[in-house]
Structure 1
Amino acid sequence: MERAGPPDDSAGDLASQLTAAAEAVVATWTQATRTASPRLSALQLEALLIVRRWPGINLTGLAEEVGAAPPAVSRLCDRLEAAGLLRREPAPTSRREIGLVLTLQGNELIDALFARRHEMFAAVLSRMRPAERRQLLSGLLAFARAAARPGGVDADRELPG
C-alpha cells in the first residue's frame, strides 16, 4: 500500500518535527506560569483551572479530572485553601455535598496568568510574518480538532472551527 504524499511528509517525520517545534510553544506557555505568585505546581494550577471551568465541582469530580486519588486531591485543596486561592462551600443542591470554588484571589491569579501568557505569545508572534501567523493558527486548530475526535487525546473538549 502506497503512502499519500512525499516520503519526507510521513506522519512519523512530521511527528518528530512537531515535537521539536512544540517545545518552543510549551516553553513559552510554562514560562508564564513560573512568574505567577504564589508559585504553583502543575497539579495545583490544573486543579484551579478545572475549578474555574466548573465552579462547584466536588472533590470526587476534581480527583477524576486530575487523575488522582480523592485523599490526595483533598490535601491539594487544603493547600490551595490555605493559600487563599480556593474555598469549599456547601453545594446548593445538597447540604452534605461540598463544592469547590475559586476565591477572588484565585480568579485574579488565573487572570494574571492568562494575561502573561497572552503577552508572551504576542511578543513571539510579533516576530513572525502575518502569513506565518495564519498558517500556525490554521495548523494548531486542525491539530486540536483531530485531538478532540474519538480516539484523540482531548476527545471530551470542544474546540473552535
Structure 2
Amino acid sequence: MGDFRQLSSLMERIIHKYNQAENKKRYFGTDLILTRTEIHTVVEVGDKPGLNITALAQKKGITKGAASQMIYKLVDKGLIRKEVSPVSDTEVCLSLTESGKAAYEAHQRYHEETNNLFFKTMRKMPEETMKEMEKILIEFDKILDIQLKQSK
C-alpha cells in the first residue's frame, strides 16, 4: 500500500498547476484574448454544432448556470451564436460564428503544432496503465461530485 497522503498532495499540486494553466489567456486566430476555458467551450460547440446548454454543461461537468454564463460571454465576444431549436421553442442551439470557426481552427492547429507533450507521454504508456489511470480518474471525478454536492 502506498502513502495516500503523498498521492493526495500530488493531486492537489496537479490541480493547482492545472488551474494556473486554465487561467492563462492566449490568442487563437482572432484579435481576442481567450482563456483556456473559453477556447475549450468554443471547441465543444465546434465539435458538435447544435449543442444545447444542458448538453454542454453535462459534457464539461459544470452547472447549467455556469455553462450559460460562459455562452453569454462568448456570444458577446462574437464567437458563438445562439438560435432557437427547431425541436423546441424553450431550447437554444449553439453554433460558431465565423470568428468562432477561426478560433476553433487556430486551436486545432495549436495542438498539432505544439505536439502536446501530455499526449505524447500518454501514448507511450502501456494500455494496462492507461486503463488503471482511467479507473482512478473516474473514481476521483465521482468523489469530487460528492464533495461538491455536500458543500452546497
Instruction: Calculate the TM-score normalised by the size of structure 2.
Output: 0.56
Match of residue 7, structure 2, among 11, 14, 24: 14
Q: Which amino acid aligns with 1:113?
A: H
- CA distance in structure 1 between the partners assigned to 2:18 and 2:68 by the alignment: 25
Partner of 1:69, secondary structure, is helix
User: What residue in structure 2 maps to residue 67 of structure 1?
Assistant: 63
User: What residue in structure 1 maps to residue 136 of structure 2?
Assistant: 146
User: What residue in structure 2 maps to residue 86 of structure 1?
Assistant: 80
User: What residue in structure 1 maps to residue 26 of structure 2?
Assistant: 34
1:48 aligns with 2:42: yes
Determine if contact 2:45/2:96 at 8 Å carries over to the other structure: yes
Determine if contact 1:85/1:106 at 8 Å carries over to the other structure: yes
- CA distance in structure 2 between the partners assigned to 1:116 and 1:27 by the alignment: 20
Name the larger-Rg structure: 1
- CA distance in structure 2 between the partners assigned to 1:103 and 1:121 by the alignment: 27
Unaligned runs of 5+ in 2: 146-152
User: What residue in structure 2 maps to residue 159 of structure 1?
Assistant: none
Q: 1:115 to 1:95 in 2, by over 3 A?
A: same
- Counting only pairs closer than 5 Å after superposition, residues 56-135 of structure 1 correspond to structure 2 as 56-62=50-56, 65-67=61-63, 69=65, 73=68, 76-122=70-116, 134-135=124-125
Shift of 1:97: 3.1
**1:74-132 superposed Cα distances (whole Å, 9 cap, x missing partner):** 5x434422433111123122345321112343233133223323433546888x8xxx9
Aligned residues: 140
Q: 1:117 to 1:141 in 2, by over 3 A?
A: farther
Q: Which amino acid aligns with 2:62?
A: V
Partner of 2:78, secondary structure, is coil
Q: 1:95 to 1:47 in 2, by over 3 A?
A: same
- CA distance in structure 2 between the partners assigned to 1:51 and 1:125 by the alignment: 22
**1:13-52 superposed Cα distances (whole Å, 9 cap, x missing partner):** 23434554x47x8489659852434212354334324433
Percent identity among equivalent residues? 20
Unaligned runs of 5+ in 1: 155-161
- CA distance in structure 1 between the partners assigned to 2:118 and 2:142 by the alignment: 32
